[in-house]
Amino acid sequence: MGFQDTPEEWRVTGSVTPFTGNKTSVRTDDVVMPDGSVHSRDYQVHPGSVAVLALDGDGRVLVLRQYRHPVRHKLWEIPAGLLDVPGENPLHAAQRELYEEAHVKAEDWRVLADIFTTPGGSDEAVRVFLARELSEAEGERFEVSEEEADMEQARVPLEELVRGVLAGDLHNSCLAVGVLALGAALAGDGVDALRPADAPWPARPFES
């Protein structure tokens, strides 16, 4: 089997959903522990997300700066968004987010990493893609609103972003995972060894 995470589900004796929001909810499960005791666990129920590390021909990463109210910060991030439709193909969602947030398309797509962002408090799963061979998207730009109306865009050398993560200057989880994973890939077997864009994703199964 090797050194890998494995699916497992402990018995749940009761479950309630005390809060349901527009996109996520909060659930409380009564979980049976290995010693037979039962304890409540609260967590956010999340549809899942995709994120895109878009790398141009000059080795620069497309990043966006956006206000995030829960942490009271403007964060540099990579394009990302929710899986709005159950069973949605994550590649299609990633392509949509890259278009909507940056008005960019890409010809070459790979999977960089699959992560659980906060497994102690949320069931959110994120697939981080690598997108290359970038070009301007056709048609009109997607109309943004709310926090996205104030969003900034830049292209930053990969090495500068890696330094920013390691220095504690950049905090977005998808950006951090994406740039560090790409740096490791480039230093190792190369991006051609990455998984294909349609690789299975057990955390969020999808149709091709």
Give the residue numbers marked as catalytic.
148
Structure tokens at 117: 């962002």
Structure tokens at 94: 């990633």
Instruction: Give the residue from 46, 50, 40, 51 showing the smallest Cα distance to 21.
Output: 46
Alpha-carbon distances, residue 15 vs 10, 134, 146, 147 (angstroms)? 13, 46, 34, 34
* Contact predicate 61/129, CB 8 Å: no
User: In whole angstroms, what is the distance from residue 33 CA to residue 12 CA?
Assistant: 10
* Contact predicate 131/53, CB 8 Å: yes
